[in-house]
């Protein structure tokens, strides 16, 4: 029973990842708003698919972008019947790939590294 449950979960996660790769552009489109602040270091990206203000001047912008991301992640999670956190992590991988040079990334351990 446990192996079957894990296997079913793994299949759903793989299917969600494939669907996310195909359906990614609308959610990533708003990331261009952050290109300048990310390149300057005022905004960083986190492992969970959310942005983080590294400078207080970017806090309002980051809050708006994260609210938009939260909606997209929740919709995708509901459609694919997977946890919202899993969707955020998959999007985070795509955000890292598309982010401009000098973007800061925060790992799950809390350390910052720069692209």
Q: Give tens-digit pLDDT for 49-92.
A: 999 999 999 999 999 999 999 999 999 999 999 999 999 999 99
Chain segment 17-33, per-residue pLDDT in tens: 545 544 444 445 456 67
pLDDT, residue 98, reads: 86
Among the listed residues 69, 57, 60, 63, the one whose alpha carbon sits nearest the alpha carbon of residue 30: 69
Which runs of E-coded beta strand occur in the chain? Answer: 43-46, 51-53, 104-106, 112-114
| Residue ranges covered by each domain of the chain | 2-114
């Amino acid at each position: 029973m446990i192996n079957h449950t894990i296997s079913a979960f793994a299949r759903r996660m793989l299917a969600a990842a494939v669907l996310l790769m195909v359906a990614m552009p609308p959610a990533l489109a708003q990331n261009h708003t952050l290109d300048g602040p990310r390149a300057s270091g005022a905004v960083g990206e986190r492992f969970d698919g959310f942005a983080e203000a590294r400078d207080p001047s970017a806090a309002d912008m980051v809050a708006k972008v994260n609210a938009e991301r939260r909606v997209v992640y929740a919709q995708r999670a509901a459609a694919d019947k997977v946890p919202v956190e899993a969707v955020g992590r998959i999007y985070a991988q795509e955000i890292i790939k598309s982010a401009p040079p000098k973007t800061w990334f925060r790992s799950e351990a809390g350390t910052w590294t720069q692209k």
